[in-house]
Amino acid sequence: MANEIVASVNNRITQMQKNEGLKLPANYSPSNALNSAWLTLSDNSKGPSLLDKTSPQSQAKALLNMVIQGLSPAKNQVYFIPYGKDLTLMRSYFGSLAILKRLDNVKDVWAEVVREGDNFQIGSDRGRTVVKVFEPRIENQDNPIAGAFAVIVDNNGTENFTIMTKKQIDQSWSHAKTKKVQQEFPEEMAKRTVLNRAAKFFINSSSDNDLLLGAVNDTTADEYDNSEPRDVTPNFDDLIDSKPKEDKKHVADADQDEQREPEQAERSEHQPVTDKEVANLFQGQANK
């Protein structure tokens, strides 16, 4: 099964590069990234592995989105989080930085955490909120987080600031599917949260390939859920059956998904990888 999923994702990436204009970083190896990810997913040293906990379809989707974004767990750029039977891909702060630095409308980007006791002052420049003073102190490094800010420098050299208080960060985290990573790495995740908020305009206004932008938006959306957790495990036999069977539960789940986002028959601007497209990975592999 491992070889089948990895081979299917590799083949799909090759097709995207040849036929759909997907461009990966020059020093990025999809095979190495997939092998590193598979080692992470198959690790059972602390109990059942993520391969055992989650569905093959969600594993394929997470791996496909990871490669499209040019990310790798070997560089601490992604986390794999189980949510019910779904495997969810989450970018780390380093992953978000890597994505933004690839965009054609971004020159530089960074984020910082503000702790209680730091000298932090904001102001206004031509009606835009800016950071006037930021003086962190070593003695404050163990203090509670007071907020965070991100700076994105565009091609004109303009610094675009985004500022969030700790209350706003906590509010964002409250909608996340899992709180484990935020609890273990609060500083990194606070920077990542404010960076993701700052990045929305630049991601959606970039002229980069729609496959990349769709995968970026899809990964971000997968981290949040406004409904109650539900088991969305697919029947693996259906993944390789040319005519998958539908049961009442699948129909109900499909109705819920349709209420969240209208289904589109064809790939449109910034459309993420779909479950149907992931299923086709298995179909193509089964036909060989």
> String of b and e for 237-271 (b: at least 16 CB within 10 Å)?
ebbbeeeeeeeeeeeeeeeeeeeeeeeeeeeeebb
| Average pLDDT for the chain | 80
pLDDT computed for residue 163 by the predictor: 96
Give the pLDDT band of residue 72 (cuts 50, 70, 90).
Answer: very high
Mean pLDDT to the nearest integer, 129-146: 96
pLDDT computed for residue 165 by the predictor: 96
Give the pLDDT band of residue 228 (cuts 50, 70, 90).
Answer: very low
pTM of the model: 0.69
Closest CA to 60 of 110, 117, 3: 3
Give the pLDDT band of residue 285 (cuts 50, 70, 90).
Answer: low
Q: Please determine, for residue 23, whether its predicted confidence score (pLDDT) is greater than 70.
A: yes
> Phi and psi at residue 184, in whole multiples of 5°?
-80, -35
Q: Please determine, for residue 266, whether its predicted confidence score (pLDDT) is greater than 80.
A: no
* Other C-beta atoms lying within 10 Å of the C-beta of residue 226: 6
Give the H or E element holding residue 115. Answer: strand 106-115
